[in-house]
Amino acid sequence: MNSSENKIIELRAFTSWLGNDGICYTVVKPNAIVNLQDAQENTCSVKEISGDTIYPLLVNLMEIKSISKEARDHFSMQNRTPGVSAIAMLIRSPVSRVIGNFFLGMNRSAVPTKLFTVESEAILWLKRFAVPLK
């Protein structure tokens, strides 16, 4: 998990940090309705904690309520560089399952992307793309 020197960024809909395992974490807050502004802020926060390094990203969607079309389009990364090396999406509730599968089905991700229901399995998979922390 995050050490004391690893910065945690709290946003309206997300909490993000860089783990000591070289994985970037972003968790959707309970019952969050993610809009474009949330999505853009999240991208900025992930960039901020990543610096110049490209890390794999774990997105915890378990508690999400919904996400707007504009936010989905933003996350689909069309016309911009991904900034991450791989994405694991953590899903649990039927709603998060639909959202996760929607991302996978509707968009051709520029980086390897996979859905998981168990966090440890997601981390294990992401570690293949992880780089040592500076």
Partner 1 sequence: MTEGLDDIFNVVARITGGKFNDDANKKEAILTGLLLIEKKLENVKAEKKKNASQINEILDVVLSLAQLNYTKKATVSEKKNDFDALALGINMLGEELQSSTVSLREKEVLLKEIHHRVKNNLQVITSLLNLQSEKITQPDLLETFMESKNRIRAMALVHEKLYMSDDLSRIDFTEYMHSFISYMDNSHNLNPENVQIHVNAITQSHFFKIDMAIPCGLILNELISNSFKYAFPEKRKGNIHLFFGIEKKAESLNHYILEVADDGVGIPSYVDLKKPNSLGLQLLEMLTAQIGGTLELDRTVGTKFTVRFPIS
Does 72 participate in binding partner 1 (rule CB under 8 A)? yes
Compute the Cα dihedral for 55, 60, 64, 69 and give only its sign: positive
Q: How many residues bind partner 1 (CB under 8 A)?
A: 15
Query: How many Cβ atoms sit within 10 Å of the Cβ of residue 12?
Result: 13
For position 114 contacting partner 1 by CB under 8 A, the verdict is no
Map the footprint of partner 1 across residues 73-112, applying CB under 8 A. Answer: 93-99, 102, 106
Interface segment toward partner 1; rule CB under 8 A; list 16-24, 61-69, 112-120, 123-131: 61-69
- 11 makes contact with partner 1 (CB under 8 A): no
List 65, 83, 114, 130, residue binding partner 1 (CB under 8 A): 65
Among 3, 20, 31, 117, binds partner 1 (CB under 8 A): 31
Q: Which residue lies nearer to partner 1 by CB, 105 or 132?
A: 105
- Sign, CA dihedral 42-44-48-51, equals positive
**Binding span for partner 1 by CB under 8 A among 2-10, 38-46, 65-73, 109-117:** 65-73
Q: Which residues of the chain form contacts with partner 1 (CB under 8 A)?
A: 31, 65-67, 69, 72, 93-99, 102, 106
